[in-house]
Amino acid sequence: MKKRLLLPLALFLLLLLAVGTASAQSPTPAAVTQDQVNAVARELYCPECENIPLDACPSQACADMRAEIRQKLEIGWTKDQIIQYYIQRYGDRVVGAPPARGWTWLLYVLPPVAILACVAILYRVFRSWKRPAPGPVTQSPGVQSPPAAVEGYVARLEAELKKAKK
Nearest to 82 by CA among 39, 52, 50, 51: 39
pLDDT in tens, 19-66: 555 454 455 556 888 888 888 988 888 888 878 888 888 888 888 999
**Residue whose C-alpha is closest to residue 73's, from 33, 45, 46:** 33
Q: Model confidence over 105-151: pLDDT tens digits?
A: 777 788 888 899 899 999 988 888 877 666 666 656 666 566 777 78
Query: Could you give the dihedral angle defined by the CA atoms of residues 74, 75, 78 and 81, in that order, rounded to the nearest 10 degrees?
Result: -130
Q: What's the DSSP call for residue 5?
A: H
Helix segments in the chain, DSSP class H: 2-24, 34-41, 60-74, 79-90, 105-129, 146-165
Predicted TM-score of the model (pTM): 0.47
- Which of 56, 51, 52, 78 has its CA nearest to residue 66? 56
